[in-house]
Each structure stands twice: as structure tokens, then as C-alpha cells.
Chain A
């Protein structure tokens, strides 16, 4: 079993975790990798910033409450 992921694999996991929870082993590997790698920490922040900016851009608000954008009758 490979304990450490490459940055390329970590980037995939960082994207995946925006779409759903990762399994415990990947979460563990991710935490270990991020604690040692400033490049991936930066990419993690930027992917999260993209999500937040997209939310604002599409006027959906920055929270998960998607009903806030429901049109009024």
C-alpha cells in the first residue's frame, strides 16, 4: 500500500472532496500530504476559493443553502 500520494493525485482528491466525502484512508493521506506540502495547500485554498467565487458569481450566495436563490412567485 502506498502511504504517500503524489501532488498530481492529491489535486484529484482535492477536487473530489468538493463533490462528496472521501474515504477515511484518502482523507488521512490527504492530511499527511497537506501538512508537508505548501504547493498542495495553496491549490487546496485556490480550489475552495473557486467554489466560493463561483457561488457569488452565479448569485447563489456562498453557503450551501441553495434554496436562498429560489425565485419568488
Chain B
């Protein structure tokens, strides 16, 4: 897009900032810290936007900068000042339990998802996923984003957040199963 190849306007920056804040808050779980990280990211974006790779859109590039800032922060000793996650949410998962029968089979047949046709529908499918991620419980959302966005391996997530490997696996699994259920409800079953 032509607008993205020229200097970002104030409006574009405001829209970008909101998008970045959404990801940052969900990934670090602290609004003040998310503001700081996004601020640092925007400084880089504004100062270096002329030198960035031409084909990357402003948003793509800014998200990549933010991803590195958050990953660096998690890997620095500073992250320890963040409140610990353990005990914050109950591990009981009623929705997950209702998915299966007592014998461990699916209580209802698993529906296929509607296959998106073309880029527009694929984009809509991603928007649905983004809303589903927003609705994950805080801890599940953070672990999912650390794994799928920051690209952390699970041992690093356990170590960084001070949770056991079993707990980490369980939370990630429940996050994925919740997202799967959310997508089935909101994206749509194939007819």
C-alpha cells in the first residue's frame, strides 16, 4: 500500500499503537508494562521507518519489533518483578470437561470448520481467532502468545514464569482446546 511506504501519519500511528497494545497486554499481563514496551517499539518504528525493509507493511514490521522487545524483556532479569502466575487461576476447566464423556470420548461429534475461500475470508478467519484469543483466561492467553507469537519453547516458558512443565503443558493444551471450541462456534461449521 502506498500509504505504508511513506512516513506514517499520526492517525496511522494511533491505530498501530492500539493494535500493538492489545498484543502486548495479553502477552505480558500488565497494562503499565505493555505501555512502556509499546512506547519503546514506536520510538524504533518512527526513527527507523525510512530504513525498514520495503515490502514489509508498517504493522508487520512494528509487530516484529514489539515481539523482539517483549522476548528480550522476558529474558532479562526485569521480568521477575511481574507477579507470578501460579495460583492465579484455578486449573479446573469445566468447558473442557464437558467436551468429553466420562469414558473420555467426545460428547458430541467434532464438526469440520468452514474452509475460507480467498484472502478476504482467510483474513476474517484470523480476525475470529484474534477475538477468541482475547477471550482466553489471562494465564492461558499469555502462555499461548509466548508460545505462538514470541516463539518460546515450552521449557523456556516454564522457567520464565516459574511453573512446572506439567502445568505449562496443561495450560497450553486447554488454551488450544478453548480456541478450537471458540472457532467452531464463531467461525462456523462446514455444512
Interface residues of B in 45-72 (CB under 8 A from A): 48, 51-53, 56, 59-61, 63-65, 67-68
- Cα distance, A10 to B25, chains bound together (Å): 32
> Could you mark each residue 5-32 of chain A with 1 if its beta carbon is under 8 Å from any beta carbon of chain B, else 0?
0111101100110111000000000000
Interface residues of B in 153-191 (CB under 8 A from A): 153-154, 169, 172-173, 176-177, 179-180, 183-184
Q: Which of A47, A66, A73 contacts B176 (CB 8 A)?
A: A47
Interface residues of A in 40-54 (CB under 8 A from B): 40, 42-43, 46-47, 49-51, 53-54
Count A-side interface residues using an 8 Å CB cutoff: 35
Count B-side interface residues using an 8 Å CB cutoff: 46
Interface of A is mostly: helix
> Could you mark each residue 102-126 of chain B with 1 if its beta carbon is under 8 Å from any beta carbon of chain A, else 0?
0111100111110000000010011
In contact, B180 and A43 (Cβ under 8 angstroms): yes
Q: Which residues of A contact B65 (CB under 8 A)?
A: 71
Which A residues have a C-beta under 8 Å from some C-beta of B? 6-9, 11-12, 15-16, 18-20, 38-40, 42-43, 46-47, 49-51, 53-60, 66, 69-73
A-B contact pairs, 12 of them (CB 8 A): A8-B104, A12-B169, A19-B147, A19-B169, A19-B172, A39-B105, A50-B179, A50-B180, A53-B129, A66-B151, A70-B64, A71-B65
What 7 pairs across the A-B complex have the smallest Cβ distances?
A6-B104, A8-B104, A15-B173, A54-B148, A39-B110, A42-B110, A59-B60
